[in-house]
Amino acid sequence: MIRDYWRAFPLFSRDSWLILVASGLGGFSYQGIYFLVANLFLLRLDYGPVFIGLFVSAGALSFAVFSLVAGLVGRRWGGRPAVIAGTAVAALGIAMLALAPQVPAEWQRSWLLFFCVLREFGNAFYMVNITPMLMATTTPSERGHVFSMRGAVQPLAAFAGSVAGGILPGVSASIMGVSADDPAGYTVALLVAALALLPGVALLAATSRKGPTPRPTRSIDSSDPVGERRQGESGVTSSRGGTADRMPYGPIAAMAVVAVFYVAAIAAVMSFVNMYMDQQLQATPGRIGMVMGAGQLAAVPAALTMVSLASRWGYARTFILAAAGLCVSALPVALLPSLFGVAAGVIGMTAFAAMAFSALNVYQQELVSLQWRPIMSGVTLMALALGWTATASVGGYVIEAHGYPLLFLVATGATVAGVVVFWVYSRVPRGELARGADAFREVEAEN
């Protein structure tokens, strides 16, 4: 596996490297510090599970609403400006959320919700357009390695962010001479998260202003006849013979249905597990940060392994197996009320989620031709966000009425349903997979 990456690295374009570094900064800031600190920050402001569920769902709904808009904007004007602006807006949203303790009490809830929505507005423009942008900077020969690297860089940086997020509140409180439970320490951590995104804006702005110059596709495995046949970006016609100008409603709708259900377990655990450890298990922010960071660290080898598994089994089967592992990993979180059980579950879930998301990203993009990839990305992420919205908005009420374990179990069941839908749909080769099969048959016929 390591040898394959060394052979693939020279094929990575300059834009691919810039995007990977910017993704690392996003992982440190957003997936690391922000994900760990945000809910704990709200708890220190005396908000309970119901409002926190509303806060999380408001952000997810904002992401859902603006994802399709972001896809349309990316298709019309290109993904690069949307990605740059989205990152800057997300940084602004996080910074303004950090200032909530300074806002009068009667305006504080509205302030929190507004800037949560603004943060996810920016995040939607980044997330929707970064995948097609990265697709455009790669060819099929190195694409799996680039996406695997992105899937590894983000959690590795998020590990550092989680550790920093666990340490910063206590250190800041000590320097300022306030209690460890004072929101001021969490304000500092959130401001650091916002500032960490700004170099990413500069890196993304340094990418090529024009579309990528087509590069010859060289298969990493030179013995692969099908890889040689698939040079460049195919997709002038659909896998079923339709024209590329026609909206691929079927694949887009199928991926949307899968995404809505698949995300439930991740949404339930990642939205509330830090609260669960804080309130039910009496864990300190430092320990919570170590648990979340360990999960992010475990995601690194999992994401790097994705390309090897995909080359052997294909992206569809890799996604199915990784999603199944995610569901199994959710069970200790729900059934073992101890820090060890939660840690084991979170580590497994984060690792398998990194592998599954990378595989799903490539699979759904290769279902459609180049011009429809921003729309496919927008709709898929919109569906993921709607599933997250539903889970988070209901989750606060479920927690208050029945506790955390029931929420985690029900959400895991929904994820299983999404994986079953994907398995049924992916049994028939589609998109580039179908074209690859056709090319393979042509090679066999010629031989």
Instruction: Please tell me the least confidently modeled range out of 1-10, 35-44, 45-54.
Output: 1-10
| pLDDT value, residue 226 | 36
What does the pLDDT average to over 342-371? 85
**pTM tops 0.75:** no
Whether 80 has a pLDDT exceeding 80, the answer reads yes
| pLDDT value, residue 372 | 82
Query: In order of start, what are the domains of the chain with their CATH numbers?
Result: 12-209+248-446 (1.20.1250.20)
SS3 content of the chain, % helix, strand, coil (to 5): 85, 0, 15
| pLDDT value, residue 441 | 40
Question: What is the percent of the chain where pLDDT is above 70?
Answer: 84
- DSSP for 26-87, please give it: HIIIIIIIIHHHHHHHHHHTT--HHHHHHHHHHHHHHHHHHHHHHHHHHHHH-HHHHHHHHH
| pLDDT value, residue 3 | 63
- Mean pLDDT of the chain, nearest integer: 81
Amino acid in position 27: G
348 Cβ contact list (under 8 Å, min separation 6): 295, 298, 325, 326, 328, 329, 332
Regarding predicted confidence, which is higher, 359 or 78? 359
Regarding predicted confidence, which is higher, 137 or 232? 137
Query: Which pLDDT band holds residue 5 (cuts at 50, 70, 90)?
Result: low
How many other β-carbons are positioned within 10 Å of the β-carbon of residue 442? 13
Whether 238 has a pLDDT exceeding 80, the answer reads no
Instruction: Please tell me the least confidently modeled range out of 1-10, 211-220, 245-254, 407-416.
Output: 211-220
Query: Which pLDDT band holds residue 16 (cuts at 50, 70, 90)?
Result: confident
pLDDT digits (tens, 9 = 90+) for 89-148: 999 999 999 999 999 988 999 999 999 999 999 998 998 888 778 877 777 776 777 777
| pLDDT value, residue 307 | 67
Q: Which residues pair with 243 in a beta bridge?
A: 237
Nearest to 414, CA basis, from 395, 379, 380, 387: 387
| pLDDT value, residue 282 | 84
Q: What is the spatial distance between Cα 231 and Cα 443, in angstroms, rounded to a whole number?
A: 15
Regarding predicted confidence, which is higher, 349 or 314? 349
What does the pLDDT average to over 422-435? 71
pLDDT digits (tens, 9 = 90+) for 141-196: 767 777 777 877 887 888 888 888 888 888 888 888 888 778 888 999 999 999 99
| pLDDT value, residue 2 | 57
| pLDDT value, residue 234 | 39
Regarding predicted confidence, which is higher, 37 or 72? 37
**298: its two tokens:** 């475990």
Element housing 15 (H / E): helix 14-26
Query: Which pLDDT band holds residue 64 (cuts at 50, 70, 90)?
Result: confident
Whether 245 has a pLDDT exceeding 70, the answer reads no
Instruction: Please tell me the least confidently modeled range out of 30-39, 212-221, 400-409, 418-427.
Output: 212-221
pLDDT digits (tens, 9 = 90+) for 254-296: 999 999 999 999 999 988 888 899 888 888 888 888 888 887 7
Whether 364 has a pLDDT exceeding 90, the answer reads no
Burial 240-249 (b: 16+ CB within 10 A, else e): eeeeeeeebe
Regarding predicted confidence, which is higher, 324 or 136? 324
Distances (CA, A) of 286 to 161, 278, 290, 306: 12, 11, 6, 31
Q: What is the spatial distance between Cα 424 and Cα 261, in angstroms, rounded to a whole number?
A: 14
| pLDDT value, residue 119 | 93
Query: Which pLDDT band holds residue 8 (cuts at 50, 70, 90)?
Result: low
